[in-house]
Structure 1
Amino acid sequence: MKSADQMDSEEPGGVRMTAQHPHENEPYWRSSISRVDPEKVFIRGYDLEDLIGGVSFTSASFLLIRGRLPSPRESRVLDAVLTAVLDYALEKPGTAAARYVVSANPSMVAGLAAATMAVGKYTLATEDTARFIVAAHADFLESGEALETFAANLAESMAARKERIPGLGHPVFKKVDPRAAILRETAVREGLWNGPALLYEAIHRAFTARPGKADIPINDVGAMAAVLVALGFTPEESTGLAVISTLPGVVAHISEELAHGKPLRIIPGESVAYDVEAGKDFKADWKEAGWTPAS
């Protein structure tokens, strides 16, 4: 059987033609992030030696991801994001996962990997909220409606479809998540609480105006998403930055576990209800299932 390439490269008369691949001379990879020369490393075109000690880790992260140097206000706001969720004790699934893994495999890298793998839809990941904010703002600009009207209509339609507004609610904080509040204050002070963030707030106001919803705050993930969208990061990049922000706390927990933790942690028996019947007759049930009894 001829391959697709062979069929594409033959004329009806059977004459073999040279296959044309428009990208055959293209490099396998292209990257504009960094370059390594025999004596230099360049980060987005800048000599790394100028960056070391010359810019903060926050500003360097902005440069790497956005591809340009941040303004002072952008750096201050991103720095606030990167300190907003440093740690959340043992109530964060990723931290607990890291400590469990390290108790069995005493490795900093294994623990960091476990904590990172725990990031997702229900904890820390900002991308769903960021996508919602970006999409809602685009729809708002096309709608021609007033801000509050659009927000009320969107909240109403989502409630009718039983769709969750991402970035709202917290198991502990009511009305206000203090971390979200200070992130907002910082962004407002630096002039970076912009149109998409204002719309998100309006949607939250419309949502909390509904019966039984008054205590539900914009949570830390919601505020981080709004701020990172304002800074120009993509939804996926926002989750990456959220992960980076929590890693110092994870490192501290892993270090504590390595130094003082219990080898091979298990879930305490008193914390589990085992619905397992004891004393079943294996031979009788095996025979009833159609098998010949074992000799």
Structure 2
Amino acid sequence: MTSGSSGHSGASGAAESAESAAYWATGLVRIQPGEIALRGYPIEELIGRFSFVDVAWLMVRGELPTKAESRLLEAALTAAVDHGPQAPSIAAARMAATCGVGLNNAVATGVNLLGDVHGGAGQQCLEVLDDVLARAREGRPLSTAVEAVLAEHRYVPGFGHRFHPRDPRRDPLLELVEQARDDGVVAGDHLAAAEEIELHLAEKSTKPIPMNIDGATAVIYGELGFTPELARGLFVLSRSVGILAHAWEEQQAGTRIKGPVPRSVLADYTGPDLRHPPD
């Protein structure tokens, strides 16, 4: 009786242990006492030999990038680091930093503002480019595919900029893509689709509507084989650096409870005139 109970208990314990091990099963990292391996690579063999960008690629893609791929990804991440406190995510992080919260809370405040409208254009642009290329693969000329896709979009993400007549990040990024295409690193299909969209928009407008940072980085992420969802995630990774720096700068200034406008500026009141409650 005792032996049987012991055997049952041992089997139950083994099953529970196996269930626990499978609960958070992951192909990303192997953790054992004295051992850390990322995607199968011992961490000590990555440290000092591969860059942060290399390891970021490894973690989301499963293999290490080539040097040329890493250079292109690094360019996209560098270009999107910051765009000043007029960006809502940056402003929110700076305000949070004056409210007595920790640096991690201030950074999280900024990151959590990166949504579909502010922060999602890169993903949306890559979705448009992928749609164009899918139609082109059906045998349509690229220009026809572009025209068909744009007819379905009132707003084309990744083109034009509310602040810059021509985004200064566009040209250096696209030059790197062109070089990578010529070197056989990438195919150049997303670049061709984006440039065709630029031409189409210019023909329909009284002024050029060039690619902005979201369009240029969408080209890079598409050429490198990242999905639209990961394109947004990589943008968030990049912009987190700027958010961190702004939150830290504001925290060091020692200002307390800094609002969205200077204290001397009061919001316009649009309600009813001053009145008194009835007796």
TM-score w.r.t. length of structure 1: 0.80
CA contact (8 A) 1:99 1:253 kept: yes
Indicate the residue corresponding to 2:129 in structure 1. Answer: 133
Q: How many Å separate the matches in 2 of 1:25 and 1:112?
A: 33
CA distance in 2, matches of 1:223, 1:193: 15
- Report what 1:55 is aligned to: 50
Counterpart AA for 2:161: H
Identity rate, percent: 30
Conservation of the 8 A alpha-carbon contact between 1:193 and 1:227: no
Cα deviation for residue 50 of structure 1 reads 0.7
| Distance in 1 separating the partners of 2:21 and 2:91 | 46
Q: 1:181 aligns with which of 152, 171, 183?
A: 171
Residue deviations 1:108-164 (CA, integer Å, cap 9, x gap): 11111111011122333321112221122112211x122223323443x23xxx621
Alignment of 1:1-295 (within 5 A): 27-125=22-120, 126-142=122-138, 144-155=139-150, 157-158=151-152, 163-174=154-165, 176-191=166-181, 192=186, 194-212=188-206, 214-266=207-259, 267-268=261-262, 269-270=264-265, 272-277=267-272, 279-284=274-279
| CA–CA distance in structure 1, aligned partners of residues 21 and 97 of structure 2 | 44
Structure 1 pair 154–251 and aligned structure 2 pair: CA distance change class (3 A): closer
Q: State how far apart, in whole Å, the 2-side matches of 1:26 and 1:47 are.
A: 21
Unaligned stretches of 5+ in structure 2? 1-18
Per-residue Cα deviation, 1:151-197 (whole angstroms, up to 9, x for no partner): 23443x23xxx6211111101222x3221221111121122362123
Query: C-alpha distance in 1, partners of 2:217/2:44?
Result: 31
- Alpha-carbon distance in structure 2 between the residues aligned to 1:250 and 1:28: 34
**Change in CA separation of 1:25 and 1:120 when aligned onto 2, cut-off 3 Å:** closer
Q: Which has more radius of gyration?
A: 1
Is the Cα–Cα contact under 8 Å of residues 107 and 244 in structure 2 kept in the other structure? yes
Amino acid paired to 1:235: P
Displacement of 1:223 in angstroms is: 1.0
CA contact (8 A) 2:170 2:211 kept: yes
Kindly state the Cα deviation for residue 26 of structure 1 after the two structures are TM-superposed. 10
8 Å Cα contact 2:30-2:38 kept in structure 1: yes
C-alpha separation between the residues in 2 aligned to 1:241 and 1:164?
23
Shift of 1:93: 0.9
Relative distance call for 1:187 and 1:25 in structure 2 (3 A) is: same
- SS of corresponding position for 1:187: helix
Secondary structure of 1:91's aligned partner: coil
**Cα contact 1:81–1:183 (8 A) shared by 2:** yes
- Conserved? CA contact 2:201–2:208, under 8 Å: no
Work out whether residues 77 and 234 of structure 2, in 8 Å CA contact, stay in contact via their aligned partners in 1: yes
Question: Could you list the per-position Cα deviations for residues 227-276 of structure 1 after superposition, in whole angstroms to 9, with x for gaps in the alignment?
Answer: 11111111111111111112222222111111114200123352521224
Q: Hey, what's the Cα distance between the residues in 1 that align with 2:254 and 2:243?
A: 14
Aligned partner of residue 42 in structure 1, secondary structure: strand
Distance (whole Å) between structure 1 residues aligned to residue 198 and residue 220 of structure 2: 15
Conserved 8 A contact 1:86-1:247: yes
Q: Aligned-pair distance for 1:211?
A: 3.2
- Residue 12 of structure 2 is matched in structure 1 by none
Separation (CA, whole Å) in 2 of partners of 1:260 and 1:29 = 42
Give the AA of the match of 2:242: G
Aligned-partner Cα distance in 2 for 1:279–1:151 = 56
TM-score (normalised: structure 2): 0.84
